[in-house]
Homo-oligomer: A and B are copies of this chain.
Amino acid sequence: MAATQTLDRTLTALADPTRRAILKRLSSGEARVTEVARPFSMSLNAISKHILVLERAKLVKRRKVGRDHFLSYRAEPLDAAAKWIDETRDFWASRLDTLEQLLRAEDAARK
């Protein structure tokens, strides 16, 4: 699978506050679906769907024990996301040609 698609899934999963909250919850320990859902004011089904999105992004792993599904947090996909952000964010800091950019912008504006 293309790396860009993996990144898409990761960032899409993170772009929703409910899913971020679920992840934070799981980052401090395993929990069952119902436990995860409890604090939220939406239906269990809605949470079940959010969990699916997180699973598809490999941010959550599921372990089934009888009727209980234990969910756990996986950090790995965050590495690629953090990497992309850092690369993009630091672009100018890591280059000293800010001056060149300014000049180019000025030049473009003139013509």
A residues with a Cβ closer than 8 A to B are 4, 7-8, 11-12, 14-17, 20, 23-24, 27-30, 32, 65, 70, 72-73, 75, 78-79, 81-82, 84-86, 88-89, 91-92, 101, 104-105, 108-109
Q: List 11 A-B contacts (CB under 8 A).
A: A8-B16, A12-B15, A14-B15, A14-B84, A15-B15, A28-B91, A29-B104, A30-B104, A65-B109, A70-B109, A73-B91
Q: Is the interface of A mostly helix, strand, loop or mixed?
A: helix
Known: A14-B11, A24-B88. A70 touches B30 (CB 8 A): no
Looking at the assembled complex, report how far the CB atom of A56 sits from the nearest CB atom of chain B, in whole angstroms.
13
Looking at the assembled complex, report how far the CB atom of A3 sits from the nearest CB atom of chain B, in whole angstroms.
10
Copies per assembly: 2
